[in-house]
Structure 1
Amino acid sequence: MPRLALVFVLACWGAIGSPAHSEAPLPEIFVAGPVEAADTHSGGFATTAGGNIPGARRRSAATLEDMIQEVAAAKAAGKPLVLTYTGNEDAQIARITQDHTADAYQNCPRPHWHAPYRELQIKEFSHGLTILGANGSSANFGITLIRSDNVVVRNMKIGALAGAAHDADMLRIDSSSNIWIDHNELFAVNNECKGSPDGDLTFESAIDIKKDSHRITVSYNDIHDSKKVGLDGSSSSDIAGGREITYHHNLYRNVHARLPMQRGGWTHLYNNLYSGITDSGINVRQAGYALIENNWFENAKNPVTCRYDAGNCGWWELRGNNTQSAADNATYNITWTGGPGYLNADTWDSTRAFPLTLTYTYTAHAPECVKAHLAVVVGVGKNLATLRCP
């Protein structure tokens, strides 16, 4: 089926926070029609159509249990799969959100951190798989990829999981390659509950990428109200020869830390909007490299940093962001804290050139357009819309 395109002209719209830029150029918004087999340009390291290839099974599922069965059947048959999730678990999400919202004394009414972790586990699946949330669907379960390849996850709304004591990530990528995480909404509660296990655990991560994982793209996601956003590597020994990850056109709002916490490897972060970081942002550690390009930062603590890694910080190259010098910190309400082994980008200077040759083409739009218009195309229910700026 030919690709359908619709071009809007939008009135200038100040996205989130201040300062607004009402004079920013009007963007073009591209709205994709049905996903085609050729839809493999992720704007990042991933180059996969997932299961949307000839011979694929096409199934729908309204429950987690049905999804588990459909994935198992496709794996047994050796077939690619496009699986559309149609369930709605808003009630469960709302209940857990309420039960984990802290009062003035940091007490939460009824925490669920020891509850079972509900997950769709995709293990050793390499035939091609697309998980696609139907508009209006929502999930109170996570999706974990283990030693799998060629997987796309799109348009999934996942919120406030129970089972943090059991590592209840919303999305987890372990020893998997060629993965595209696109146009999802991921959220929990950005507070701590007194008495939670290990001293800092309320919810686990929105997106953790670990072990021997390569060629990952994380794009156009709306990630909000989350305490731990994501790891790139789970420990100082989890370097895996260097993961290659692209984060682009993601909206981060009211989040605490780990955007991501990077251990080794190479990350390219472009055209993201960071609005409301309450502890720390892009944390480049364990001799990792980050290319941080044409992003918008505002209302943030320690948005680009290396911390908790004395003597082994990584490096960042800063290109074309809205923040160019120390004078911009006050303009965009950016603050910094320090400590032993900490290194902050408080003067907005690069520490080393990004050494990796990128394997994909992309357009890095002006951060002013990202600020003004990104929020209307990220997340679920947008028909995979993408941002195009003059």
Structure 2
Amino acid sequence: MRRSFALRFHAVLALLAMMVATGVVLSMPEASAATGSATGYATQNGGTTGGAGGQTVRATTGTAIHEALCGRASESTPIIIEVEGTINHGNTSKVSGDSCNTADDVIELKQISNVTIVGVGSGAVFDQIGIHIREANNIIIQNVTVRNVKKSGSPTSNGGDAIGMESDVRNVWADHLTLEASGGEDEGFDGLFDMKNNTQYVTLSYSILRNSGRGGLVGSSESDRSNGFVTYHHNLYENIDSRTPLLRGGIGHVYNNHFANIHESGINSRAGARARVDNNYFEDSKDVLGTFYTDEAGYWQVNGNIFDNVTWSSPGDETNPAGPDPESNTTVDIPYSYSLDDASCVPSVVSETAGANNGMRESDGNCSPQNPDPNDPDPNDPDPNDPDPNDPDPNDPVGTNLSLGAGSDGSSKAGGTSYGNVRDGDMSTYWSPSGSTGSISIKWDSATTVSRVNIREASGSEGSIGSWRLVDADTRTVLTSGSGAGVITFPSTSLRKITLEITSSTGTPRIAEYETYAG
């Protein structure tokens, strides 16, 4: 017994020595330097809180960041990593552990959740080192600079992306960042802020993206349409060739951004994407909105923007600029609340708020930057007394909506509606049966554990659903029954298909979203 204890004690001492040597400093849970609460689409799908409530760790090397991730009890244990100094290839190495999956020469946030990385002190600079987020959820990156990440030449990191997200990523809030390159693809650089392969519920706010050939994309190809629900607000895009951003499929909300010196094309909505573009300021730029370099159309809704010295190309087979007099060709409903600064003040507001080490200020929606509240004990934690509608309802399901990316079918569908509309994350689309009753199902290729369902009715049809039964379609077992829409709970069940059978209604039901959750 004594020998076992001694071995464990010496092992702990060795781990602590290694963490100190690599630049990790542990502290008790305390107020983080992170400020504010997530905005935009990052507030949806259960919200984005990062490492709130977890231990705070100070890191001065990339290896130390990996050590902090690997030192957690599990891959989902909350942690706040405060970063100070320069992170580079010389101090960023792979670390192994049960709660991490890291690699050399890149900050790897892979197969993890509930993490905040925030720059503190004199600032955090990721120099030629990219941040890679993969198979992860509930991530906050705040108040850091990422610069000169290359995909070719030497050294290389993260495929040339400053921040790259791919493969089943959910709920990321990137805030008060400076993302910059020193040229385009010919010089070895790629995107500054990229999302691929089923990445959803992301917000980029109060950030500077500059001096790059490519600002960022949503979707790796015309067929990669599994991404979306991305908000871009109060950012500066400056001296960039294209992709500010490029949207392939999905929904993007672009508001109160300042675009300056965009050389080739700006917001490129294509392959069925829909962009809502509100109160932005575009100046000294070319083709700042439209569908470019493809014949697969995208769509946009425009409101309150200012176009100052913007030039437009003539339409062609693969060129469909929105200007010179941009008009909406779709509508996009936004599910969260937000305040719009007038477009005329956007350049000054963004100048005073955006970027790392710029005071972490935010706009109040009235063209007036506000300092963060120094008395906030932990601004990442939701205030239980805050009536802000962006705060998640405590009765709402928590976790990933399993219906996104699943399949769906039903007994019938009314004209103009679709089974797929109940799993697209868009409250403006819906399914209706061909009569007053019918069934709709969510299905997966393999057995999936579900214990909670949220039935959300389309606007104007609330209260139309009468009685219903929720059925395991594989066994025909009735999981539960009731009446009305809303959250439905039942014992955790592994199944491949779950069916909502509407047995009575007060009219024609219109189901906008049929959400499913493991817990």
Q: Structures share a fold, TM > 0.5?
A: yes
Alignment partner, residue 100 of structure 1: none
Change (3 A) 1:332 1:313: same
Alignment partner, residue 502 of structure 2: none
Q: Does 1:188 align with 2:175?
A: no
Give the match's secondary structure for 1:274.
Answer: strand
- Contact 1:75–1:125 at 8 Å: present in 2 too? no
- Offset of residue 332 of structure 1: 1.9
Alignment partner, residue 276 of structure 2: 291
Candidates 119, 123, 132, aligned match of 1:144:
132
Counting matched residue pairs gives 314
- Contact 1:318–1:348 at 8 Å: present in 2 too? no
Q: Does 1:122 align with 2:120?
A: no
- Offset of residue 80 of structure 1: 0.4
Structure-1 separation of matches of 2:83 and 2:326: 45
Give the match's secondary structure for 1:259.
Answer: coil
- Contact 1:190–1:256 at 8 Å: present in 2 too? no
Alignment partner, residue 147 of structure 2: 159
Structure-2 separation of matches of 1:334 and 1:364: 26
Structure-2 separation of matches of 1:334 and 1:190: 23
- Offset of residue 75 of structure 1: 6.1
- Offset of residue 117 of structure 1: 8.0
TM-score, normalising length: structure 1: 0.75
Candidates 61, 72, 75, aligned match of 1:74:
72
Structure-2 separation of matches of 1:192 and 1:161: 11
Change (3 A) 1:262 1:369: same
Q: Does 1:176 align with 2:169?
A: yes
Alignment partner, residue 39 of structure 2: 42
Identity of aligned residues (%): 26
Alignment partner, residue 266 of structure 1: 251
Aligned residue type for 2:342: A
Change (3 A) 1:157 1:337: farther
User: Any residues of structure 2 matched to 1:297-308 within 5 Å, and which?
Assistant: 297-308=282-293
- Contact 1:45–1:359 at 8 Å: present in 2 too? no
Aligned residue type for 2:324: T
Structure-1 separation of matches of 2:49 and 2:245: 25
Candidates 326, 335, 359, aligned match of 1:349:
326
Aligned residue type for 1:86: E
- Offset of residue 157 of structure 1: 0.5
140-149 or 345-354, which deviates more: 345-354
Alignment partner, residue 340 of structure 1: 317
Candidates 257, 274, 280, aligned match of 2:242:
257
344-353 or 169-178, which deviates more: 344-353
User: Any residues of structure 2 matched to 1:298-337 within 5 Å, and which?
Assistant: 298-310=283-295, 312-323=296-307, 331-336=308-313
Q: Does 1:372 align with 2:356?
A: no
- Contact 2:272–2:297 at 8 Å: present in 1 too? yes
Change (3 A) 1:239 1:191: closer
- Contact 1:278–1:300 at 8 Å: present in 2 too? yes
- Offset of residue 344 of structure 1: 0.2
Structure-2 separation of matches of 1:75 and 1:267: 36
Candidates 336, 351, 363, aligned match of 1:360:
336
Change (3 A) 1:191 1:207: closer
- Offset of residue 254 of structure 1: 0.6
Q: Does 1:133 align with 2:119?
A: yes
- Contact 1:285–1:309 at 8 Å: present in 2 too? yes
Change (3 A) 1:73 1:89: closer
Q: CA RMSD in A?
A: 2.4
Higher relative contact order (CA 8 A, sep 6+): 1
- Contact 2:150–2:161 at 8 Å: present in 1 too? no
Q: Comparing both structures, which one devotes a greater share of its residues to strand?
A: 2
- Contact 2:42–2:48 at 8 Å: present in 1 too? no
- Offset of residue 304 of structure 1: 0.4
Structure-2 separation of matches of 1:228 and 1:145: 19
Change (3 A) 1:117 1:261: farther
Structure-2 separation of matches of 1:205 and 1:352: 28
- Offset of residue 262 of structure 1: 0.6
TM-score, normalising length: structure 2: 0.57
Structure-2 separation of matches of 1:121 and 1:209: 15
Q: Give CA-to-partner distance per residue, 1:252-299, whole Å, 9 cap, x none.
A: 111111111110000000000000101110000101100000000001
- Contact 2:151–2:188 at 8 Å: present in 1 too? no
Alignment partner, residue 380 of structure 2: none
Aligned residue type for 2:249: G
Candidates 81, 85, 88, aligned match of 1:87:
85
- Offset of residue 246 of structure 1: 0.4
Q: Which stretches in structure 2 are left out of the alignment for 5+ residues?
A: 1-31, 91-102, 368-519
Alignment partner, residue 203 of structure 1: 189
Change (3 A) 1:91 1:288: closer
- Offset of residue 353 of structure 1: 2.6
- Offset of residue 322 of structure 1: 1.0
Structure-2 separation of matches of 1:293 and 1:237: 27
* Structure ID, larger Rg: 2
Aligned residue type for 2:110: K
- Contact 1:271–1:295 at 8 Å: present in 2 too? yes
Structure-1 separation of matches of 2:48 and 2:77: 16
Give the match's secondary structure for 2:72.
Answer: helix
Give the match's secondary structure for 1:150.
Answer: strand
Change (3 A) 1:162 1:169: same
